[in-house]
Structure 1
Amino acid sequence: MTDLRSTERFSDRVADYVRYRPDYPQALVGWLHGLGVDADWTVADIGAGTGISSRLFLDAGHRVTGVEPNAPMRDAARQWLAGAEGFRAHDGTAEATGLPDASVDLVIAGQAFHWFDPVAVRREFARLLTPRGLVAIFWNTRRLVGTPFLEGYERLLHQYGIDYVSVAERYADDDTMARWFGHGYRGMASFPHTQRLDYAQLLGRTLSSSYMPMAGHPNHEPLLVALRALFDATQSGGTIAFDYDTRIFAGHPDT
């Protein structure tokens, strides 16, 4: 959305995004196959970013078009997935992909979905689908409580994040997603997912978030001090557990 520069705000974080952002559990693909999705279904990954979700479906045998408006992220996806057959990167937005009508069997959107205009993308996604097609929306929801690290990390985001609350509030709850799909809603599932991170990886993961201050911001150095202290106090064997619940919603959206 224009107020938070959704297509631009990750441009200076691409390297950290590629190296430290979590992937998604393979169980997502298995769950979709249980709904009738097959490896011969063509996939459009909307807001593909650096290709994290595209990789998941390429590995499952799908051909994937990664639609991404941010040029540095699109270039990173091309470079990272250069050896994967069946991938192409496409310059387009979620609301105006530029892909042909009824050209895609499975439209997917990962973590980027919370930046989209929900009304416009529902129309666009429905336009792209073949008659048998489905839309699958999924993202990693970071656990906020349950361990000293998780609880300390949430406090750290509130203290040092630039617009953390504004971004966090953009994630939809389960009922909102069911309403977004309407009568074509097929259901949802949730899967546990974890990253084990050493300090360097934790730092990269933290700075990959668009609401965290980069070098030169007055919050940047205090953030580094607080993050190091949190890691040292909560690590076990030189790593911490960055825990998520990965939620997926699927169906054929009403128009």
Structure 2
Amino acid sequence: MTNITKFNGKSIVYSKFRPDYPNELVMDMIFENKLKEDSIVADIGSGTGIMTKKLLDHGFKVFAVEPNTEMRKVAEEKLKKYKLFISVEGSAENTTLLKRSVDFITVAQAFHWFDLKRFQKECQRILKVYGKVAIISNERMTETSINQEIETAYKRFCPDFNGFSNGLNNSEEIYDRFFKENYSVKIYENPLSYNKEGFIGRHLSSSFSLTKDDKYYPNLVEALSNIFEKYSKNGIISVPNLTKYRCGCVKIIDEG
């Protein structure tokens, strides 16, 4: 299974239950980068269009670049009313966009899948002069007991689980290699509240999670149900979460 196909069979549950991003973050991003209504944005690794929709709601023309066919089709259906929405079959490393064609790039909950150097080169190619990249991620507070119990359930029943965010490096060092110096970092408290259906659905939407055809699917659902019953109050559970925003100019990669 390639990175492109890891979300096959999960596009609907992903679109329905994946967490949103704080409106405050989006407003800060627009203000900090002086984005205007005529700004052109590439949302790369756009998935089912969660961040894409926020950008469209502010009037930007958005190229939503997504390699997974199922995810892309969900976004196309959901966002078809937006005249400035352009769906693109492409990857972070090969967006297919024209050279110097976008003012700004967003990456929401997808950076950990990218080939760093190849993505840097592609950003360098498609961004206009002085264009920047914003990388946004919802990050679990893994020291909390609820997230530790969720991790235990994943480890027990999901063979592909290698850690949250696929176990890929989310340390600041990788961003130091991607951005030029003095890139912006902001952290937003963004606890995620769910009813039971939403809590289970969210945890079935991960790339490593199970689908109904998997042997241990009922076991995983039962474990998640038990966690919900343990931590919920009045039918609602709150999962500690931080949303992190990093934005800056990309380090130049020599073409040679």
Same fold at TM > 0.5: yes
Counterpart of 2:225 (choices 222, 228, 247) is 228
Please say if 1:163 is aligned against 2:160.
Answer: yes
Q: CA deviation at 1:143?
A: 1.8
Provide runs of 4+ in structure 1 moved above 3 Å: none
Counterpart of 1:74 (choices 72, 75, 88) is 72
Give secondary structure in 1 for the equivalent of 2:190.
Answer: strand
Q: CA deviation at 1:28?
A: 2.0
Cα separation, 2, equivalents of 1:212 and 1:33: 34
Cα separation, 2, equivalents of 1:160 and 1:119: 34
What corresponds to 1:101 in structure 2? 99
Shift of the 107–141 alpha-carbon distance from structure 1 to 2, 3 Å rule, reads: same
Counterpart of 1:128 (choices 126, 129, 134) is 126
Counterpart contact for 1:126–1:252, Cα < 8 Å: no
What corresponds to 2:85 in structure 1? 87
What corresponds to 1:119 in structure 2? 117
Within 5 A, what are the aligned runs for 1:98-247?
98-146=96-144, 148-165=145-162, 167-183=165-181, 185-247=182-244
Please say if 1:21 is aligned against 2:18.
Answer: yes
Shift of the 228–36 alpha-carbon distance from structure 1 to 2, 3 Å rule, reads: closer
**CA deviation map 1:2-35 (0-9, x unaligned):** xx51111112001100100011112222222343
Counterpart contact for 2:177–2:251, Cα < 8 Å: no
Please say if 1:250 is aligned against 2:229.
Answer: no
Cα separation, 1, equivalents of 2:75 and 2:231: 34
Counterpart contact for 2:157–2:216, Cα < 8 Å: yes
Q: CA deviation at 1:235?
A: 0.8
Shift of the 129–30 alpha-carbon distance from structure 1 to 2, 3 Å rule, reads: same
RMSD: 1.6
Q: Which amino acid aligns with 1:17?
A: Y
Cα separation, 1, equivalents of 2:96 and 2:130: 21
Structure 1, unmatched stretches of 5+, are: none
Cα separation, 2, equivalents of 1:139 and 1:36: 18
Counterpart contact for 1:29–1:60, Cα < 8 Å: no
Deviates most, 197-206 or 154-163:
154-163
The number of aligned residues is 250
Cα separation, 1, equivalents of 2:189 and 2:166: 20
Cα separation, 1, equivalents of 2:121 and 2:12: 33
Q: CA deviation at 1:210?
A: 1.3
What corresponds to 1:41 in structure 2? 39
Percent identity, aligned pairs only, is 30
Please say if 1:12 is aligned against 2:9.
Answer: yes
Cα separation, 1, equivalents of 2:26 and 2:231: 33
Q: CA deviation at 1:94?
A: 0.8
**CA deviation map 1:118-164 (0-9, x unaligned):** 01000101111111311111111022233x43332222222222222
Q: CA deviation at 1:170?
A: 1.1
Give secondary structure in 1 for the equivalent of 2:5.
Answer: coil
Cα separation, 1, equivalents of 2:159 and 2:56: 35
Q: What TM-score, normalized by structure 2, do the two folds share? A: 0.92
